[in-house]
Amino acid sequence: MSLKFTIVKKLDGTLGRAGSIQTPHGTIETPAFITVGTKATVKSLNSDQIKEIGIQCVLANTYHLYLQPGDELVKRAGGLNKFMSWKGPTMTDSGGFQVFSLGVAFGKGITKMTKGKELLLPEARPDDEGLPKLVTIDHDGVMFRSHLDGSAHYFTPERSMEIQHNLGADIIFAFDECTSPTESIHYQSEALDRTHRWAKKSLERHLELSKQNSEQSLKGGLQAPALFGIVQGGRHENLRKESAQFLADLKVNGVGFDGFGIGGSFEKEDMGSAVRWANEILPEDKPRHLLGIGEPEDLFQGVENGVDTFDCVAPTRNGRTGTVYTVTGKKHIGNAEFIDKFAAIDPDCGCYTCKNYTCAYINHLFRGKEMLAGTLASIHNLYFVTHLVSGMRKAILEGNFVRYKEDFFNTYKRLS
C-alpha cells in the first residue's frame, strides 16, 4: 500500500471535508497542517519535539537534500524516516518551487502569497539591480546553479522522480514549473504546457521506479511512494481549470496520480478562487495538498475550498524571528511591551513553551540572541497552527465549522 484516502464527513455547502490518508508510516487525519523540514530537519526542533506538538507529517525539500547531503546518501541511510529519526509520514516536493524562488523571485522579495502592489507585469517592474537568476528553463527541464557553490545541476522530471524515490518519502510530487503571478498570461500558458509535459514524464518514470522498488522492497528496500500531480495556471481561471482537468484525466497504462497538489504563487485575494477552480474538477476521491500556504486566515479558505493538507515554512520562520501567533493575532515577542510580562504567550495554549515559560523570559532570549529563543517560539507557532487545523477537522465532524471559524476571527487580527 502506498496510499489510501477516505472521506469521513463533508462540510455542507462547500468543497470541504474531513478524512484520512493512510501511508506506510501512519495515517494523516485531515484536514492537516504538514510542517516543513527542508533539509530533513524542522529547524531548531528534534523529532520528539515535533511529535509532542502533534505534527502528523513532515515535508522535506528535494533540491536542498539533493545538494546536501545527496539523495544517494539518504537512500543508503534507509530513507528519510531513518535518516532523521522520524516515525511518521513524510512528503518531498519536486524541486519545482526552486524554479520560482531561484528564478523570477530571486532577489525581488516575491513570495508564495503576494499583495496587490507586487503584481506588476515584468516590463513594469523596477530593475532587479543585476541580480543573476540561478535557474535556466528549457523544454526538457531546468538548469539550477547551486546556491551553495554555483555549480550547475540539471533537473528533468525523470531526475526529480529518481531523487525523490531515493529519499524515500511516502508522498512525492511531479516536477512542475512554479510561476509568479507577476508573469503575463502568455508566459503562464507556456509554463503550463511545460508542467503538463513534465507531469506525464514524471508519472511514466515514477511507475518504472515503483516496479523496481516493489521488487526491492521484498528484499528489505524502500517502498514505492504515492505520486501527486501539481495544478498550476497562475491567477487565470481558464488555465487553472485546464490544468486540473488535464491532470485528472492523465493516465499511463491505466494508472493516474494518487493525489494532487495545488501550486503556484497567489495574490492574497485570489487564493480561495484559484483553489476552488481546481478542486471543483479534481477527483473527489483523491487527496489535495496546497503547497506553501500556512497563514491562519488562509487555512480556513483552503479547507472550505476542498484542501486536505497544507505545508508552509511560516510558523517556524516567524518563530525564529520572534513573531508568535496568538488568538488575537501575531505579536513580536521581542518588543518592549513583553520585557516584564510574566505570563505565557497564550494562557490557554497547551504547548510546551506556554506551559513552562513566560513572555519575559522568551523576550530576554531574543534580545540576548540565544538559540533557545527560536526553538521555544517555533514550538508555540507549530502547535498553534497544527491545532487550529485539527480544530477545523473536529468542527467539520461535529457540524459546527461555521461557529468555529466565526469564533476565531472574532478575536484574531491579521498583522500587516
User: Within this chain, do residues 90 and 122 fall inside the same structural domain, yes or no?
Assistant: yes
Does 349 map to a domain? yes
pLDDT at 181: 77
Does 403 map to a domain? yes
User: Within this chain, do residues 285 and 330 fall inside the same structural domain, yes or no?
Assistant: no
User: Within this chain, do residues 112 and 173 fall inside the same structural domain, yes or no?
Assistant: yes
Structure letter (DSSP) for residue 255: B
Distance of CA 234 to CAs 119, 181, 237, Å? 12, 6, 8
Q: In the chain, how many domains are there?
A: 2
- What's the domain range around 35? 4-312
Say whether 321 sits in a helix, a strand or coil.
coil
Strand partners, 260: 229, 288
CATH code assigned at 221: 3.20.20.105
pTM (two decimals): 0.91
Does 29 map to a domain? yes
Does 62 map to a domain? yes
User: Within this chain, do residues 226 and 351 fall inside the same structural domain, yes or no?
Assistant: no
Catalytic residues: 93, 311
Residue that finishes a domain, picked among 280, 312, 344? 312
pLDDT at 165: 97
Per-residue pLDDT of the chain (416 residues), as tens digits, is 589 999 999 999 999 999 999 999 999 999 999 999 999 999 999 999 999 999 999 999 999 999 999 999 999 999 999 999 999 999 999 887 776 666 554 444 555 555 544 433 333 333 344 445 678 899 999 998 888 898 999 999 999 999 999 999 999 999 999 887 778 899 999 999 999 999 999 999 999 999 987 766 655 567 789 999 999 998 899 999 999 999 999 999 999 999 999 998 777 777 899 999 999 999 999 999 999 998 888 999 999 999 999 999 999 999 999 999 999 999 999 999 999 999 999 999 999 999 999 999 999 999 999 999 999 999 999 999 999 999 999 999 999 999 999 999 999 976 43
User: Within this chain, do residues 204 and 242 fall inside the same structural domain, yes or no?
Assistant: yes
User: Within this chain, do residues 177 and 290 fall inside the same structural domain, yes or no?
Assistant: yes
Residue that finishes a domain, picked among 284, 312, 340? 312
Q: What angle do CA 180, 182, 186 make, to 5 degrees?
A: 90
User: Within this chain, do residues 284 and 331 fall inside the same structural domain, yes or no?
Assistant: no
Amino acid at the residue 122? P
pLDDT at 131: 42
User: Within this chain, do residues 184 and 35 fall inside the same structural domain, yes or no?
Assistant: yes
User: Within this chain, do residues 308 and 330 fall inside the same structural domain, yes or no?
Assistant: no
pLDDT at 39: 97
Residue that finishes a domain, picked among 253, 284, 312? 312
User: Within this chain, do residues 216 and 235 fall inside the same structural domain, yes or no?
Assistant: yes
Does 70 map to a domain? yes
Does 317 map to a domain? no
User: Within this chain, do residues 300 and 341 fall inside the same structural domain, yes or no?
Assistant: no
User: Within this chain, do residues 351 and 280 fall inside the same structural domain, yes or no?
Assistant: no
pLDDT at 218: 53
d(CA 408, CA 128): 40
Are 260 and 231 spatial neighbours (Cβ–Cβ below 8 Å)? yes
Does 416 map to a domain? no
Does 318 map to a domain? no
pLDDT at 123: 35
Length of the chain: 416
Provide the 10 A C-beta neighbour count for residue 285: 10
User: Which residues contact residue 329 at a Cβ distance below 8 angstroms, ignoring those fewer than 6 apart?
Assistant: 412, 413, 414, 415
Provide the 10 A C-beta neighbour count for residue 133: 14
Are 377 and 319 spatial neighbours (Cβ–Cβ below 8 Å)? yes
Amino acid at the residue 388? L
